[in-house]
Structure 1
Amino acid sequence: MKLSVFYDHIQEAARQNNRSLEEICNLVKSYGIDAVEMDADCYAPEEAMIKELLDKAGLQVSCMYGFFDFGHEDSEEVKDRQIHSFLSMAHRAGASRVLVIPGFLNEQEMGSASIEYQECVQSMKAAVTRMCAYAKPLGIAVGMEDFDALEAPFATTAQLLSFVQEIAELSCTFDTGNFLYSGEDVMEAYTACKPYIGYVHCKDRTFEVHAGETPKLTTDGQAMYAIPVGSGCIPMKEIVTDLLKSGYDDTFAIEHFGAVDQLAYMKQSAEWLLGLRTEVLGKSN
């Protein structure tokens, strides 16, 4: 089992605990976490500094994620330039995977039966297809996740699979906590997405109020809060166990944006995942 955590959580933990990024990186490494999920917009202006910081701590960039507006950018030349810049930076960072968030719908495009919706989504799909083609010679795999936003035309199982099934080289980055946002059953989503899963975000959720946290509201207005992996309402044990038994040997990315104590959450999440690995596969794995 390989574990990673979002670099954003490391930054937030440093602020929350008034400690240096170097200290937090070293602690994260001591928890059994070997890599980070890196926001391209964060990495770009501080590439040399972040790379040195991670190298010193023995941490790698497992996956780099980037936000685009492929549905509204008319120029194919501009899209290709953005794609090449993104992939080149991910390659320099040593990432073997990228997560693409290809854009969001505007108010006029929200109806899935509208021409505007279809044109926007097709433009996104065309750009993601080219990204996959450009990434392949670099040894980089491209994934998309079930992004938790109404404006994302890839938030639900059906929406995400419409991308993944149509684009041959695109895999599913399965985010365990995001289907709850859309009111879907995560185990049903997991079963449907399983043949296409190339990467996993371990995000648990709770409806118990956490003072000091800003909740994420579901589409029907319920407030969800961050919680360490394995201690919330998502069937994390069932999903991770099935993945391990099915031979999944890539990374489990720990994710809990908005946590009130990122350092403690990272430690607890890593301990739970590593403990489950031992329970499922034995100590030698």
Structure 2
Amino acid sequence: MKLSVFYEHIREAAGQSSMSLEEICTLVKSFGIDALELDADRFKAEEDSILSLITKTGLTVSCMYGFFDFGHITSSEVKEQITSFLSMARRAGASRVLVIPGFLESHETDPASREYQQCVQSMKDSVAAMCAAARPLGITVGMEDFDDSRAPFATTAQLLSFVEEIPELSCFFDTGNFLYSGEDVLEAYSRCKPYIGYVHCKDRTFEVHPGEEPKLTVDGRAMYAVPAGGGCIPMKELVTYLLKSGYDDTFVIEHFGAQDQLAYMKQSAEWLLNLRKEVLGG
């Protein structure tokens, strides 16, 4: 089992404590976490310091993620942004990228409308172009079930409409985001299983965390961040299914909004590593 965590969590942990980024990274490494998920915009602004930090601490970059607006820009802009994004991923040493291809505008939200169809098709064409550009670089492109009603890839069916139509596109399965859309995550896993190439281990709870900003579901329920295995997502079942299926790649620890990121990272890593021993032994 390989573990990764969002670099933004490390930054948040440093801000929540008196420790430096290097000290937090060293602790994270001691938890059994070896890699980072990097925001492309963050890397663009802080490339030298980030590369220096990961060299000093022995961490690697597992994935770089980027937000785009592929439904509303020109083909030349798409090409330029893809080239820049993949170039940054290579410089960071990332073997995969997560693409969030854009969001619908207010007049495009009706799936039956021509505006919706055109916007989504533009996104699909651009993601396919990214996959084609990434292939010779040895970079895998993936998409996840992004938890935003403006994302035409938030539900299982929407995500699969991209993954099934773009052969080289991988499903980056986020365990916590189907709850946002009111879907059963075990059913979503069953449908997405043939395409899963990467996993975000996100757990959630409806128990109120005072002082923490919640994420609201489509029906208005407030969800809060918890360490993996500590919430209402059937994490044990999901991770067990993945391990027994032969999935031997990275499990990404994710809990944006946590008030104690360092403690959450430690607890999530311990829970995942202990579960691996329980399921596979050794």
Question: After TM superposition, is the score higher than 0.5?
Answer: yes
Tell me by how many angstroms 1:45 deviates: 1.3
Which structure 2 residues correspond to residues 155-194 of structure 1 after superposition, within 5 A?
A: 155-194=154-193
Tell me by how many angstroms 1:220 deviates: 0.4
Tell me by how many angstroms 1:230 deviates: 0.4
Distance, in Å, in 2 between the alignment partners of 1:128 and 1:202 is: 24
Distance, in Å, in 2 between the alignment partners of 1:242 and 1:181 is: 22
Which structure 2 residues correspond to residues 1-285 of structure 1 after superposition, within 5 A?
A: 1-73=1-73, 75-283=74-282
Distance, in Å, in 1 between the alignment partners of 2:117 and 2:77 is: 21
- Give 5+ residue unaligned stretches, structure 2: none
What is the TM-score normalised by the length of structure 1? 0.98
Per-residue CA deviation, residues 157-177 of structure 1 (Å, 9 max, x unaligned), is 000000000000001000000
AA aligned opposite 2:278: E
AA aligned opposite 2:220: G
Distance, in Å, in 2 between the alignment partners of 1:137 and 1:93 is: 17
Tell me by how many angstroms 1:18 deviates: 2.2
Q: Which secondary structure state, in structure 1, belongs to the residue aligned with residue 165 of structure 2?
A: coil
Distance, in Å, in 2 between the alignment partners of 1:213 and 1:170 is: 35
Per-residue CA deviation, residues 32-89 of structure 1 (Å, 9 max, x unaligned), is 000010000001111111011011111000000000000000x211110100100011
Tell me by how many angstroms 1:192 deviates: 0.3
Distance, in Å, in 2 between the alignment partners of 1:161 and 1:226 is: 26
Number of equivalences: 282
AA aligned opposite 2:15: R
- Give 5+ residue unaligned stretches, structure 1: none
Question: Percent same amino acid among aligned pairs?
Answer: 75
Distance, in Å, in 2 between the alignment partners of 1:272 and 1:55 is: 27
Distance, in Å, in 1 between the alignment partners of 2:215 and 2:69 is: 23
AA aligned opposite 1:270: A
Tell me by how many angstroms 1:212 deviates: 1.3
Tell me by how many angstroms 1:197 deviates: 0.3
AA aligned opposite 2:149: L
Q: Which secondary structure state, in structure 1, belongs to the residue aligned with residue 76 of structure 2?
A: helix
Distance, in Å, in 2 between the alignment partners of 1:281 and 1:216 is: 34
Distance, in Å, in 2 between the alignment partners of 1:126 and 1:98 is: 17
